[in-house]
Structure 1
Amino acid sequence: MASEPLLQTLRTFMAERDWEQFHSPENLAKSISIEAAELLECYQWNGDGDQDEVAGELADVLTYALLLADKLELDPEQIIRTKLERTGQKYPVEKAKGRSTKYDRL
């Protein structure tokens, strides 16, 4: 399993369990949000989340995000690069470096 591409491993894992039937875009988006909340819960009472718990919840978020991209026939690398390009235009280095100010207030 480890030698095949990750997305294929996910597809195989889901197919073996017949879980694709539950993976509508809506359900996958909901699952991302639910798992993201569980990731945030790792930091609920302090800023140092347990590394193993954080890794598990982050894996869940990433898994559902990859499954949603696959379902929508979107290339994760391409959509991230496209978004970075747009974000870079909104937040040019010379104005945004070291600042958390929203783009319309730079």
Structure 2
Amino acid sequence: MMTAMTKTQDRLLQVILAPQITEKATYIADKHQQIAFIVRTDATKPEIKAAVELVFKVEVEKVSTINVGGKTKRAGKSMGKRKDWKKAYVSLKPGQEINFAAAE
């Protein structure tokens, strides 16, 4: 029988899908001390904050989210669309740092 604690913990572990490592994300990480993550489309800001704190053992100051529309693509005559996804910028409290090599 699952308790409420393990259910919420399982949910939090599924919220973060991957860190987003792009030129823009690296620039923002250096300049504004924010880390970009690809998260589930149904994730809320409090869930994202709790998930980052649980997984990386850091203190989160603020979470900003962006809904990104999937691109329309074409293969010959047929048109298709990629899935919509959600990005979260996580601001850490001063002195906090995420080391992705140690987290795995």
Q: TM-score range by the shorter chain?
A: under 0.3
Higher strand share: 2
- The structure whose residues are more often helix, as a share, is 1
Larger radius of gyration: 1
Q: TM-score, normalised by structure 1?
A: 0.26
